[in-house]
Amino acid sequence: MEFVRVLFPTSRRVRIDGTSRGTTNATLPVEAGTHRFTLAGNTDYSPPFDDRTVIGTTADFPLVVQFMPLAAEAAERETATLDAIAPEPAPRRAAKRRPAAKKKPAKKKPAKKKPAKKKPVKKSAKKAGAKSKGAKRARR
């Protein structure tokens, strides 16, 4: 089952393939396929008919067929009327806001231990088997 919405500023009978099937500005069920849409009564509208292929529609998103009155004044009225009766797209869902992330307290890093200062080792002038500077000179 497919769906069509025929728009016109005033209420008129809608003919689908020559058979009266409902009124303008209402969603009408039709079988899938190509159909000829016309309005009953005076032919004071344009186009005189509209051939459309109806497929892939839903009751929420029908195929829209629009007829316009021939008089210029009526055309202005129609625009305002059609804007008022045209189905509006489904509202978008507002994005859910995530709650602000709670800041976790920073983990304290253990203080680095400074290496113990090495005490300078006093070099003894005379180590076992070492010779003094004077001794070295005398040897020469």
Instruction: Tell me the per-residue pLDDT of 19-43, one tens digit each, with 9 for 90 and over.
Output: 999 999 999 999 999 999 999 988 8
Instruction: Tell me the per-residue pLDDT of 84-127, one tens digit each, with 9 for 90 and over.
Output: 565 566 666 666 666 666 666 666 666 666 666 666 666 655 55
Checking if the pLDDT of 74 tops 70, the result is no
* Mean pLDDT of the region 69-79: 62
| pLDDT at res. 73 | 47
Rounded Cα gap, residues 3 and 28, in angstroms = 6
Any idea which fold 2-84 has? Answer: Immunoglobulin-like (2.60.40)
| pLDDT at res. 17 | 95
How, if at all, do strands 13-16 and 33-39 pair? antiparallel
Q: Which long-range contacts (CB under 8 A, 24 or more apart) does 12-15 make?
A: 12/39, 12/40, 12/41, 13/39, 13/40, 13/41, 14/38, 14/39, 14/40, 15/39, 15/40
Residue with tokens 């020469």: 140
Domain boundaries, the chain: 2-84
| Band of pLDDT at residue 50, cut at 50, 70 and 90 | very high
Tokens of 85: 């009766």
Instruction: Tell me the per-residue pLDDT of 115-139, one tens digit each, with 9 for 90 and over.
Output: 666 666 666 555 555 555 555 555 5
